[in-house]
Structure 1
């Protein structure tokens, strides 16, 4: 009996003590919770509901502030790289040095080159991962016979132009090169340099002062066997000579040019008959690649005003020039750099 009374006396203080402890524990928890909520609310109060912080990029764009001016659009080039017998590796090297995903490329090994070389070039072009992915390198598989000093070289250039216009018209300038050429600047630099230029400009070295060429080139008549033979043969000289033309004015210059797409379209699909008339005239003209494009562009007022008298090349010739220029070496490196030429 006495034991039961003592247990009852201990129960009451224990209950009271437990209640007080629970009260203080709950009070402490609530104060901490209120403090935590206050701190979080103070952080979110920096960003008003439904608004963005003024420093956010999206806020600046939506505020109507003008964007920085964009630069001129980057142009695109269309290249013809031509070679002959023994030029496979040189052509392949130049193609890689010139390659840029923005550009278009036509490669051609003429009919004088062995079939094995042409098949190797076709295989390399087809199996190159980048070329296949971008689809911007085409090979003229049905090779043309090309005589350097004859009209077949002009015909081959026009053939490449027609292919480029049919395949992809998204380019601004056509550039013809040989396997012996090599760029002196990167394609990125060249594209950047041309981005600020009028897309109608044509870079063609030219002059109407033919000098010794009047007697040695303009008046003699030649026949290019490459027009009708499947083997390369030197041009045939006729015994007769012809008078100088009076229906148009002759111009001469470099065989290497940078031509605008509007001018190429005029030559290939021209609404004027002059390109075709001059093509027939230059069929019997020695070294016609050095006169055909110059004479066309300078006899059409619409395009004559677009000509820049430069071929963008650094070339070292004999005087008077022979059929081919000198092969450059490291001795000319300083002159090449100072020339500001592209090739």
Structure 2
């Protein structure tokens, strides 16, 4: 079957080689021109709307899928265990963050998940290309073909509405890339996991797929004057380079058609909810997107407000984002974590932590004590049974078989306490 371009070219050649089909004894240049243009337009539309063949996948790396049975271990699936879910990870960074992104990718990697890597415009195009080449050359990532690099970056401010626009853009890319993911998680380069993916997927497999982990509160307090009433213009929406945020002198009243909620910028959102925000027929997400487009801290307010004002999703919210962080009120920012925080992180039951300085020794401690990850390699689990230091997973297991460790017990305890302490419903959208 010809592709659309070949079909269009052959069709035009046919038209030019058979003038007798359209030739009038009395030439009418205008009608003839309009007819040719109409046919060309129809062929062009058909070529653009015709279904394109699915991309051909390269054969899996033989070192990852060895044919010898002695190198491959298959476990019988426990019939009582639900199938593992899939998580769509957005990992983003800035100039000089390529190494941190790759380390975070290795620490959170699992063949069932999907990954989108993003370097903002402050990084050079060559940095973006090098990141893509490293991913392409990695045998583990190449085998599952589930890691993608965003070629055209989005400019994202820490304040303003550009973070919401970027998050929705990335989620829409995931919806186009694959239908097989259940939760969406956005991680910055200064984040790191506190459990293995086998731990996380094991616990998430027992939860309803529409559950959303979002810190939220309708108590606005001081945020009313500093984060909700001010009117700003986010240059990240229309400029390619960073400039100062523009603040208007006017203030606006709080809305009365819906209730505002605030929370943290990190959340674990269900696929159903992301489809509601991007593809849903309900107009609420777009109304709130327009309202928050000119507010200073839209990312920490947009998703909680959409969730809690929607009858479809306001009962799916867990008032906990499973992120360990320490807020520094003096700096009005998160405090950098270090080795002195390790025990607290370990016993918090959180799935992720933020923020970390580049190559801080506490990251090596997490790799050794929690993830069992060797430098430059992925985290072993039910799918990768190689020896420590073997970053090619010469012994390949079944990706659908999870081997959770002690991290799953800590995470399970934290979630059970959230659901069974009698305050789960009373803390929903209050």
- Alpha-carbon distance in 2 for matches of 1:233, 1:150: 12
Which of 242, 250, 267 aligns to 2:277? It is 267
The answer to whether 1:337 aligns with 2:338 is no
- Alpha-carbon distance in 2 for matches of 1:263, 1:250: 18
- Alpha-carbon distance in 2 for matches of 1:318, 1:232: 25
- Alpha-carbon distance in 1 for matches of 2:165, 2:78: 47
Q: 1:68 to 1:146 in 2, by over 3 A?
A: closer
Which of 148, 151, 156 aligns to 1:141? It is 151
Q: 1:114 to 1:307 in 2, by over 3 A?
A: same
Q: What per-residue deviation string (whole Å, max 9, x for no partner) do you get for residues 76-95 of structure 1?
A: 11111111122111111101
- Once the 2 structures are TM-superposed, how far is the Cα of residue 126 of structure 1 from its aligned partner? 2.2
Which has the higher mean CA deviation after the structures are superposed, 149-158 or 299-308?
149-158
Which of 187, 196, 204 aligns to 2:197? It is 187
- Alpha-carbon distance in 2 for matches of 1:242, 1:220: 7
- Alpha-carbon distance in 2 for matches of 1:218, 1:279: 13
Instruction: Name the counterpart of 2:264.
Output: 254
Instruction: Name whichever structure is richer in helix by fraction.
Output: 1
- Alpha-carbon distance in 2 for matches of 1:199, 1:334: 31
Q: 1:161 to 1:321 in 2, by over 3 A?
A: farther
Q: 1:285 to 1:208 in 2, by over 3 A?
A: same
- Once the 2 structures are TM-superposed, how far is the Cα of residue 122 of structure 1 from its aligned partner? 1.7
- Once the 2 structures are TM-superposed, how far is the Cα of residue 225 of structure 1 from its aligned partner? 0.7
- Once the 2 structures are TM-superposed, how far is the Cα of residue 132 of structure 1 from its aligned partner? 2.0
Is contact 1:218–1:244 with CA below 8 Å preserved after alignment? yes
Which has the higher mean CA deviation after the structures are superposed, 117-126 or 310-319?
117-126
| Structure 1 unaligned regions, length at least 5 | 1-66
Alignment of 1:1-343 (within 5 A): 69-319=79-329, 322=332, 324-343=333-352
- Alpha-carbon distance in 2 for matches of 1:105, 1:68: 28
- Once the 2 structures are TM-superposed, how far is the Cα of residue 297 of structure 1 from its aligned partner? 0.5
Q: Give the TM-score of the pair, scaled to structure 1.
A: 0.78
Instruction: Name the counterpart of 1:64.
Output: none
Is contact 1:147–1:234 with CA below 8 Å preserved after alignment? no
How many residue pairs match? The answer is 276
Question: What is the RMSD computed on CA atoms of the aligned residues?
Answer: 1.4
- Once the 2 structures are TM-superposed, how far is the Cα of residue 113 of structure 1 from its aligned partner? 1.7
Q: What per-residue deviation string (whole Å, max 9, x for no partner) do you get for residues 135-177 of structure 1?
A: 1111111011111112111111111100111110101111111
Is contact 1:79–1:174 with CA below 8 Å preserved after alignment? yes
Q: What per-residue deviation string (whole Å, max 9, x for no partner) do you get for residues 9-60 of structure 1?
A: xxxxxxxxxxxxxxxxxxxxxxxxxxxxxxxxxxxxxxxxxxxxxxxxxxxx
Structure with higher RCO (Cα < 8 A, 6+ apart): 2
- Alpha-carbon distance in 2 for matches of 1:209, 1:233: 32
SS at match of 1:146: coil
